[in-house]
A = this chain, B = another copy of it.
Amino acid sequence: MGLNATTGTVLGFLLSGPRTAWDIDQRIGGSVGHFWNVTRSQVYRELPQLAADGLVRVQSGGGKGERRTYAITAQGRMAFRRWLAEGPPAETRRIPILLITFFGAELEPGRLAEILDRTRAEVTAELDGYEGLGALLADRPFERATLEFGIRYAELVRDWIDEVARPLVERGTEN
């Protein structure tokens, strides 16, 4: 009955009080979602499953088509802690821009330049989004630490594009 990371995350968002699937999804999107992708469907689907396993219980709204609020159970709390203490699962990396770059020689330089520029724009937008967020997390040091990682990562991508990838393609584009 070991949890996986996605299930563990959902459970973790019930620690601070009963919530609906929608609410959990929103909160994930604004926080861990930046580094642990979870879809809305997963949240909606895991919750009844967790209920069946007794880790969560429906606090209100059992009826058909009705808004359901879930609360974590004592057993759920234990399962969460057990999962967390296990340590991180093996990381599976999937960084699309590197895949494209890897095959860069097969692509017209102009197109690769466009793709890199687009990624750069996305990543600087992400950086802007993080702006000022650190202050809000002053009293949540662990969450703040993950934000710090996010900032450093976005900067890494930006700088790698500027210093490594883009210069590689400069020759062929000279626009």
Q: Report yes or no: A35 in contact with B142, Cβ–Cβ below 8 A.
A: no
- A74 contacts chain B at the CB level, 8 A cutoff: no
For A146, the chain B residues whose CB sits under 8 A away are 98, 101-102
A residues 93-129 near B (Cβ < 8 Å) are: 93-108, 111, 114-115, 118-119
Whole-angstrom CA separation of A111 from B87 in the bound complex = 9
Q: Report yes or no: A35 in contact with B106, Cβ–Cβ below 8 A.
A: no
How many positions in chain A have a CB within 8 Å of any CB in the partner chain? 58
For A148, the chain B residues whose CB sits under 8 A away are 160, 164
Q: Report yes or no: A87 in contact with B142, Cβ–Cβ below 8 A.
A: no
Task: Across the A-B interface, give the 3 residue pairs with the lowest CB-CB distance, nearest first.
Answer: A88-B96, A104-B142, A37-B92
